[in-house]
Structure 1
Amino acid sequence: MARALELGSDSAVLRSHPHLSFGSGAYVYEIARAGDKSVYSVSDGSNKISEPIVYTFGQGNAGQTYVIFHDGSYYESRVSFYREIGGLDLTLGSRDVAPASLNEALGRKMSHNDARDCFGCHATGAVGGSQLQLEKLVPGIRCEACHGSGERHVAAMRSGSVEAKQIFNPGILSGDLLSQEFCGSCHRSVDEVFAMPQRGEINNLRFQPYRIFKSKCYQDDRRISCIACHDPHAELISNPAFYDSKCLSCHLSSRKPKRESSAKTIPETAERKPGGCT
């Protein structure tokens, strides 16, 4: 999470890919390294817009999208880097239709609310109240993004106010509040996803609080939350066996678990252990 947003000059993806290109209809996109910056360009064959990449969104494990500043506004790049192909393709959510102008081909012009929501979820200190304050932005999700002001906490500890820690612990929230309200405020709650265009299993793959809501375990016991399987303070684990072990801490399998995935084939459920999955 600490690399959910980086300055364009700091992106490891862009440093290791000094030249990227992609064609979409009449438009050609390029990202080229120039000194300590990466420059994003789009051309229609006659005219060209080029701007340095100011921010990168996403650490690049799956992909990375770019934010540029053009004519007084921030734009979300129309193309993104995808790790699986090692190159550029259309950004998720971009319309696969020909843009009407070079400016439109550049990407999605971000409204104030768009910028506030995006920077608020990918960086720390970028939003104060309802206002964007990029001069105070700290790249990525740091402690204060989830736990509140560290300054007040330090002051309380120094004054001996151990009981009034002045720090927020999301772990005390109920499963519903934690997953749908707290984590879901950035990872998309079930209400937000239901209001989106339904795209089959894509929404189920992209939005974790929504996926939890749809799971059978959650319907049976809403104590299940994101932290049943995910430690937000550690690197994301991608080994299926790790998640199988989480399921098996509450479920018993009537046969030897399949190597690739045991959770899908468990027909019997053990008596729930107090706190076993929460």
Structure 2
Amino acid sequence: MQPFTDFIAIDWSGQAVARPKGLAVARARSGNAAPELIDRNWSRQDILEWLWQLAASGTRALIGLDLSPAFPFDDEGAYFPGWDISPPNGPSLWKLVDDLSADDPYLAATSFVDHPDARRHFRQRGDCGDLFPPGRGRFRVCEHGQEAMRLSPYSCFNLVGASQVGKSSLTGMRVLHRLRGTIGLWPFDPLPETGPVLVEIYTSLAARLAGMRKGISKIRDADTLDTMLAAFGSEPHAPLARYDDHATDAILSAAWLRVAAAQPELWSPAALTPDLAKTEGWTFGVP
């Protein structure tokens, strides 16, 4: 298998607008130079097309997407128990989300969560579905692994609050459906010998591994970013026009991916079963 030459982290956004402020892309190359922020006014379609170009060029890139590519499945034996079209695996889920959101602009997924059968499973502002369980909601197996690392995952079925990840995940599923057959997503797909590959990342995991203490996971200044980058053997970064959570998350995660890619144990998590690889997937970096 060819070694990776490029390490790309994408901080995602589920905001239903043309150019979400939360989208950020950073790229590191082999070596120890700091990742560079690709500073554009990104749309989700822009990123999709950029990823198509990476695939067409054959770039050997490890690409981390900060979103959940699937909902919990293992706990109930289904993504949406009781719904007769509940998909059997990740790629089928992506297709369903994309099909039911086909009329939504900007690769948003509002129509999916408004569907009368789907909405029963989600907690939305002013509307908690009758199948959303009491408490924090359902979690994937790897999200329990995140908790064991002292991270603070949120259920993908929760669409309320600043830290929710459900909306990002749903919009990401639309992009994953469009990338199907062009760029594979580990572990739903086997690692290819050449070309790019996608993995799910959790940007707070990179911050924690760099030494940032629990309760503080956001970097908003140059000195802190350089300190965290140094933990991954990276040189200092080029100054940014602005230091926001999205840009610094992407830069630090790209530096971490460069180190993590060479750790074989991260590609073979102990709790990752063949069934989970098809249904729930896994967060890269969770043992």
Q: TM-score, normalised by structure 2?
A: 0.26
Structure richer in strand, relative to its length: 1
> Which is higher, the Rg of structure 1 or of structure 2?
1
Q: TM-score, normalised by structure 1?
A: 0.27
Higher relative contact order (CA 8 A, sep 6+): 2
